[in-house]
Structures are given as structure tokens and as C-alpha cells.
Amino acid sequence: MRVLARLSARADAAYDHAYHHKLRGRIWRALEGTDFDEQHESGEPPGFVYSNIFPWGEMQEGDERNLLVASPHESLLANVAEDFQADRELNVGEMPLWIDEVSALDVDVGEPGTSGTIETGTGVFVRLYEHHREKFGIEDGHGDSPTFWRPEHSIEPFTAAIEDNAQQKHDLFAPDYLPGPTEVEGPLFDGYELLKTYALPLTVTQGVEREVVLSKWRFDYTVRDDDHRRHLNLLLDCGVGGRNGLGLGFVNITNE
């Protein structure tokens, strides 16, 4: 489930590349006083993810832009939509925007047998923990600290890490009696095409900035069964990899 906010620029502005922390703050403000407010700063996946302000690039007054917010919780999206409609001003760093329209979108990878492609709209944040490094023979001298995935680590630890992360989200947001991604036979995706890897300074919390390694991907899939469909749709609602509360790992279906 998604909310689409159609926006217009209130003034000329350069694109603010440090939008993540500021946009996260706006969404959490929309959830103040709701049942979801207590999840803020809990350390667990927040149950929502969002796109960047798109299309990307410098804007002039009156230019049209868009923002997507996704979540498996319909009521969370309803609260965000209600707040966006009540407070139409959306200031993301140096980008002053106005919310013209808010609408709901329902996205689905399709019934079993459906093939398609999912592409990342924002960078994927993947950390390899000690058990990943031991399993795949990765030595980097970081001790107990997690390691950012890089292409030289090969694709296998990347797939293991995102499947472990998807299982964590399934444990949090799906009914207990249904099997998660690591509890069934078969991979999440049929194919992985790495588009690029890049480093980005990211404000992870107020006053704390870290340089992180992100990657962009194109994933091919064929829906095996209803469990696999639920797992893929959960990634559309929650994002791939970690730090989804900063808008990382947001994905779209680009071809069916």
C-alpha cells in the first residue's frame, strides 16, 4: 500500500541531497499522537519507507514533483495522508514544496506465475554481520562491527543479508503462522543486476553524520506461490535492506 503526494515547488531551489533525515522527520511528525508514534527510535524497522522527491534535479517555482510513502499498515498511511491534507506545506531542507493532492495506490507483484522486475528507487543499505562474514569467509578486521556490503564481497552475502532482513520484517509485520522468506524453499529473486555502488554522507540521527555505502539494483522475479507473493509485496511496502526509516531501499515494479 502506498500514498502518492503530488507536490509543487513554492520557490526556485537546488535539490537537497541531504533530504533523508529531514523527510524522515516530516513523516514522523505526521505520526505524532498516533499508535505508531512509540515506534520512533525503537531501533526496529519502522514499518514504512518512502521515495525521494522525484523527478530528481533543480526545481523552479511551480515545478511539479512527487513523493511516495509505503507501508504494510493501512492505518499508518491513513494518518500520513490525513496530516498531509491538513498541513499542505512540505519543507524538505532547502526544498520548499506544497502538497497539491494526496491519493492511495495499491501495488502488487501479481498472482503466482507472474514475472516482473523490481528496481530500487533509492540506495540499498546492507550491513554484513559477523555470522555473514564467517559464513562467506569475509575478513576485514572490523571485529564485531558490521561491514558495508561491497561488490568484492560477491552476490551471495548480499542475498543472505537482504533475506535475513526481510525475515525480520516478516516477523514484525506478518501473521506468526505464515512462513517468512528464510523459512521456505527458493530465493526472493531470480536475478540480481547491480546498477551502481556509491558512498553517501548520511545524517543517521540529529547531529550524527556517517558515510555509508549504498547500492542500486534491478531484481527479476517470478512469483512461485502465495507465500512468495507476500514476501515480495512486503518488500514493496517496507523496502529492501536496512535504514528504511531514512528512505533507503525504496523499490518500484518497473516491468511486469
Residue positions annotated with a catalytic role = 40
Residue 177: CB atoms within 10 A of its CB come to 5
Chain mean position to CA 55: 17
Between the CA of residue 170 and those of 58, 111, 180, 191, what are the distances in Å? 38, 19, 6, 22
Spatial separation of the C-alpha atoms in residues 238 and 251, rounded to whole Å: 9
Contact assessment for residue 246 and residue 50, using Cβ atoms and an 8 Å cutoff? no
Task: Please give the full DSSP string across 160-192, using - where no structure is assigned.
Answer: HHHHHHHHHHHHHHS-TTS--GGGSSS-S-SEE
Name the 3-class secondary structure at 106: coil
